[in-house]
Amino acid sequence: MSEEPIPDGASGDLLLVQVREAYGRAAYTHKIHEKRADLCFQKHCRQRRLLVGLMLTSSGTFLVSLLGLVRLVAANVIPSWGI
């Protein structure tokens, strides 16, 4: 296998094309990773808000049920020793 000689002027152009292609691939990969990171961060923020909402709901439900139990004990519907 013999390689064809490349003229002096064309070797610089070939190298420039290869460098541009490598740079383009690196820039594209970097941009895609940034976009994916933005999507993951948005998902994280939504999940965090949902978690806070669920915690508030469950805490509120617990407090309301506790308040209702206290009212029933105060009204002597449930004996205080039954708690």
Is 3 contained in some domain? Answer: no
- Longest CA span, the chain: 103
Dump the DSSP string for 21-65.
HHHHHHHHHHHHHHHHHHHHHHHHHHHHHHHHHHHHHHHHHHHHH
pLDDT tens figures, 34-71: 999 999 999 999 999 999 999 999 998 898 888 887 77
Is 67 contained in some domain? Answer: yes
Is 60 contained in some domain? Answer: yes
Is 1 contained in some domain? Answer: no
Is 2 contained in some domain? Answer: no
Residue pair 42/49 in contact (Cβ under 8 Å)? The answer is no
The domain tally of the chain equals 1
pLDDT tens figures, 27-44: 999 999 999 999 999 999
- Coil/strand/helix, residue 69: helix
For the full predicted model, state whether its pTM sits above 0.95.
no
31: containing domain:
9-82
